[in-house]
A and B are shown apart, each in its own frame.
Chain A
Amino acid sequence: MSSQTISDIAQAEQGTSLWKDAWLRLRKNRLAVFGLVTLCLFIIIALLTPWIAPYSYQAQNLELGASPPSAAHWLGTDIFGRDMLTQIMYGGRISLAVGFVATSVALLIGVTWGAVAGYVGGRADAVMMRLVDILYALPFMIFIVLLSVVFGRNMLLLFLAIGAVEWLTMARIMRGQVQSLRQQEFVEAAISLGLSPGTLIRRHLVPNALGPIIVYTTLTIPNVMLLEAFLSFLGLGIQPPQTSWGLLISYGAETMEEYPWLLIFPGLALTLTLFSLNFLGDGLRDALDVRGSKD
C-alpha cells in the first residue's frame, strides 16, 4: 500500500465522521438551528427581492404619507408613502452583501497571511505577526470614518475598508492553528512519508483548521454588518438612493416619535439577523469543538 492511499483512507474516514458528528451536534442545538433557518430564509428573500417585493423600490405615494401597518402595507409606509417591507427587503440585500463580501475579503487575506506566517515560521513569521500586532492596536473605527472622508462615500471602498479591518483576528487564528498542527505527529508522519508542502497544506493543514475558520467567519459577519450599519447611521456609509438597514434605522430614529414602526421594523430585521449569526456561530463552535477562537 502506498503512502498516498493510506493517507487517503485515513483522511476520508476521519473527514466524513467529523463533519457528520458536528452536524448531528449542531442539529440538537435549537438556537443554532433557529439561526441557520432564519439566516437561510433572509438570504433567499434577499436574492429574490426584485421579483417578490410587494412594491417597486422607487414607488412613492405622497398622498398616503406615513401610515401604520395595514393589509396593503404589512409593515406600514414611510413619510413618502414608500412601502416599508419593500424598503427593508432592498436594504437587507445591501446589508447582507456588505456582510458577506467584506467577510470574504477578510477571510482571504487573513487565512493566507496566517497560513504563510505559521508555515514558514522563523523571521518572516515574526515580521508578519509584528505587523498584525501593530495594526491590531490601531483604532480602526476611527480610521474607517477617516477613510470615508478621504475617499468619498463609495460602497466598494466600504467593503474593502471593513474587510481590511477584520482580517487580523483571522490571521492570528490561522497561524495558531497551522503552528500547532505542524507539531502534531500525523503531520510529522506525512512529512516523513514524503508529502510535498503543497499537498501537506491542502490535505492536512487546511482541512484541520477549517473548523475554527468556519466558526470565526460566522462570527465575523455580524461584526461587519454592525460596522456598516454604524457608518450608515452616521451618514458616512451607504448613501441614498441606495438603502441599508443602518440607514433605515437612522431615518426611523428621526421620526420615531410620530411613526415608531419606521424604527422598529428595520431594527428588528437587523437584530434578528445578528442574533441568528451569533447563535449559529456559537452553535458551530460547540459542534466543531473549537476553543479559544473568540472571547
Chain B
Amino acid sequence: MFRFISMRLLQAIPVILVVITATFFLVRAAPGGPFDSEKPVTREVKAALEAQYKLDLPMFQQYTAYLGDLARGDLGPSFKYPGRSVNELIAAGFPVTAELGFYALLVALSIGGLAGIIAALRPNTAQDYIPMSAAMIGICMPSFLLGPLLVLVFGIYLDWLPVSGWGDIPGDKILPSITLGAGYAAYIARLGRAGMLEVLSQDYIRTARAKGLPEWQVVVKHSLRGGLIPVVAFLGPAFAGLLSGSFVVETIFQIPGLGRFYVQAAFNRDYTMILGTTVFLSVLIVLFNLLSDVLAAWMNPRLRAQFGDN
C-alpha cells in the first residue's frame, strides 16, 4: 500500500508541474499587458508598476521567480484589487466553495448511492427502472437549467426556500447544494448499480446466500464494499466537476465563493487572480484524484495484494 501511494504521489508531481507551467505561459501569452486597459499612465509609472510585479524581467526569470513564490505558498498580488493578494481572495472564497461542495457531495452520495443499491437489488423491475430513469434525467439536466428551475418552483411559486445567498437566511444552502449535487447523484446511482450488479453475480455472494445469511447481511457485509469501488474511484473526477460546477451554481445563487471569483476574474482579465486560482484548484484536484485512487485501491483486496498489504 505504501508503495502504491508513493508511486501515485510521484506521478502527481509532473501533472502539477505541467499545470503550473502551462497556466503561467498561457496567461503571459494573452494579448495586452495587465495595465494596458487601465486609464493611461505615464511611462515611468508603468515601468515602476512592471518592476514591482517583476514584469520587466525576461520571461524565463519571471517563471522561475513565480515558481519560487509558489514554493513559499505565495500566489502573488491581484492586479484588479490593489493591495489584496490572491492568497487573501482564495482564503475568503474557498471555505464557502468547500462547504457548498461538501453538501453537494453529501446529497450525491446519499441519494445516488441509495438509488443505485436499490436498483441493483431487483434489476429490470420497476424498482430498477424508476430510479434509473430519474438518474437519466439528472444526467441530461445541466445544473444551469436545474438551478433556475428549482428557484422558480421552490423559491418563487411555492415560496418555501430562499433563492440566493449563503448562510444569511436559514435554508438558503438547500437549493444550491441540491443543484450542484443532483448530476453527481445521477452518475453515482448508475455507477453504484453497475458495481453492485457485478458483485452480486459473483460466486462468493452465492456462497454467502447458500450458507443461509439473511439478505441484508449479504448486501451490507459482503457486497457493498466491492460494489461501491467504482463510486469511490469516481469521487476524484467528481470533485473536479463539483469545483467547476460551483462556477455556475455560485453565479446563479449569488454565493460569494471561489467559483464566482474565478468567473469574475475571467471577465475582468485579472491575470494573476486567474493564474493563482487555476494553480490552486488544479493542485487540489490532482490531490483529490490521488486520494480517491488510494481509497479505491484500499477497498479492492486484489489491488491491495498486488502492492503488498502492510
Inside 8 A of B142's CB, which chain A residues have their CB?
226, 229-230, 270, 274
Residue of A with least CB distance to B289: A137
* A-B contacts at CB below 8 angstroms, number: 118
Interface residues of A in 127-141 (CB under 8 A from B): 133-134, 137-139, 141
A131 to B282, CA, bound (A): 17
Q: Is B130 part of the contact surface with A, judged by Cβ < 8 Å?
A: no
Do A145 and B18 have beta carbons less than 8 Å apart?
Answer: no
Q: Is A246 part of the contact surface with B, judged by Cβ < 8 Å?
A: yes
Q: Is B141 part of the contact surface with A, judged by Cβ < 8 Å?
A: yes
The 3 closest A-B pairs by CB, nearest first: A141-B244, A253-B148, A274-B140
Do B244 and A250 have beta carbons less than 8 Å apart?
Answer: no
Inside 8 A of A141's CB, which chain B residues have their CB?
240-241, 243-244, 247
Do A295 and B191 have beta carbons less than 8 Å apart?
Answer: yes
Do A295 and B248 have beta carbons less than 8 Å apart?
Answer: no
The verdict on A138 contacting B140 (CB below 8 Å), with A148-B266, A267-B149 known, is no
Do A149 and B274 have beta carbons less than 8 Å apart?
Answer: yes
Binds A, one of B8-16, B105-113, B302-310: B8-16
Do A263 and B149 have beta carbons less than 8 Å apart?
Answer: yes
Q: Is B291 part of the contact surface with A, judged by Cβ < 8 Å?
A: no
The verdict on A137 contacting B266 (CB below 8 Å), with A234-B251, A271-B140 known, is no
Do B263 and A234 have beta carbons less than 8 Å apart?
Answer: yes
Do B145 and A270 have beta carbons less than 8 Å apart?
Answer: yes
Residue of A with least CB distance to B285: A139
Inside 8 A of A278's CB, which chain B residues have their CB?
136, 139-140
- Which residue, of A234, A250, A270, has the highest number of chain B Cβ atoms within 10 A? A234
Extra A-B contacts (10), CB below 8 Å, given A142-B281, A230-B144, A253-B148: A137-B286, A139-B240, A142-B244, A143-B23, A145-B247, A222-B140, A234-B251, A234-B263, A271-B140, A278-B139
Q: Which of B26, B145, B194, B285 contacts A295 (CB 8 A)?
A: B194
Q: Is B267 part of the contact surface with A, judged by Cβ < 8 Å?
A: yes
Inside 8 A of A257's CB, which chain B residues have their CB?
152, 156
Q: Is B269 part of the contact surface with A, judged by Cβ < 8 Å?
A: yes
Q: Is A15 part of the contact surface with B, judged by Cβ < 8 Å?
A: no
Q: Which of B140, B240, B278 contacts A275 (CB 8 A)?
A: B140
Q: Which of B14, B139, B152 contacts A263 (CB 8 A)?
A: B152
A133 to B12, CA, bound (A): 10
- Report the contact-size class of chain A (Cβ under 8 Å from the partner): 35 or more
Inside 8 A of B248's CB, which chain A residues have their CB?
230, 233-234
Interface residues of B in 183-233 (CB under 8 A from A): 190-191, 194, 230
Residue of B with least CB distance to A151: B30
Do A146 and B140 have beta carbons less than 8 Å apart?
Answer: no
Residue of A with least CB distance to B144: A233
Would you mind naming 30 contact pairs between A and B with Cβ atoms under 8 Å apart? A137-B15, A137-B285, A137-B289, A138-B15, A138-B22, A138-B282, A142-B262, A143-B22, A145-B247, A145-B262, A145-B263, A146-B23, A146-B26, A149-B30, A149-B274, A152-B31, A222-B140, A230-B142, A233-B144, A236-B266, A246-B144, A249-B148, A250-B144, A253-B148, A256-B151, A270-B145, A275-B136, A275-B140, A279-B136, A295-B194
Inside 8 A of A139's CB, which chain B residues have their CB?
19, 240, 243-244, 281-282, 285
Do B191 and A134 have beta carbons less than 8 Å apart?
Answer: no
Do B141 and A134 have beta carbons less than 8 Å apart?
Answer: no
Inside 8 A of A149's CB, which chain B residues have their CB?
30, 266, 269, 274
Inside 8 A of B18's CB, which chain A residues have their CB?
134, 138
Inside 8 A of A133's CB, which chain B residues have their CB?
11
- Per-residue CB proximity of B47-84 to A under 8 Å, as 1/0? 00000000000000000000000000000000000000
A139 to B22, CA, bound (A): 12
Residue of B with least CB distance to A232: B144
Interface residues of A in 262-281 (CB under 8 A from B): 263-264, 267, 270-271, 274-275, 278-279
Do A271 and B145 have beta carbons less than 8 Å apart?
Answer: yes
Do A142 and B282 have beta carbons less than 8 Å apart?
Answer: yes
Do B281 and A229 have beta carbons less than 8 Å apart?
Answer: no
